[in-house]
């Protein structure tokens, strides 16, 4: 099955709100190269996170396929 689109989602821990609940923020990157490996995407996400103040929580790749 061929990948139609691939998206990278980076989730960071942005701190706590006034009630003490954790706050998470996400950033999506569309048009990710379909041939990029998971290791390459993780390295890219880790590099991007160093450019801002929040800590990395998770990295997710979403692939879209044509099933019919």
Q: Please, what sign has the CA dihedral across residues 54, 56, 58, 62? A: positive
Q: pLDDT tens digits for 39-57? A: 999 999 999 999 999 999 9
Give yes or no for a contact between 63 and 5, defined as CB atoms under 8 angstroms apart.
yes
Distance CA 33, CA 29 (A): 11
User: Average pLDDT over the chain, rounded to whole?
Assistant: 95
User: pTM higher than 0.85 for the full model?
Assistant: yes
Residue ranges covered by each domain of the chain = 3-65
Strands (E) in 1-68, as ranges, are 3-16, 22-29, 55-65
State residue 5's pLDDT score: 94
> For residues 62 and 41, what is the distance between their CA atoms, to the nearest angstrom?
12
Torsion angles phi and psi, residue 6, rounded to 5: -135, 140
For residue 9, the model assigns a pLDDT of 98
pLDDT in tens, 12-21: 999 999 999 9
pLDDT in tens, 17-34: 999 999 999 999 999 999
């Amino acid at each position: 099955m061929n990948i139609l689109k691939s998206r990278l989602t980076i989730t960071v821990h942005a701190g706590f709100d006034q009630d003490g609940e954790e706050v998470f923020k996400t950033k999506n990157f569309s048009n990710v190269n379909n041939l990029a490996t998971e290791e390459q995407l993780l390295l890219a996400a880790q590099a991007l996170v160093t450019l801002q103040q929040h800590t990395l929580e998770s990295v997710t790749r979403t692939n879209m396929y044509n099933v019919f």
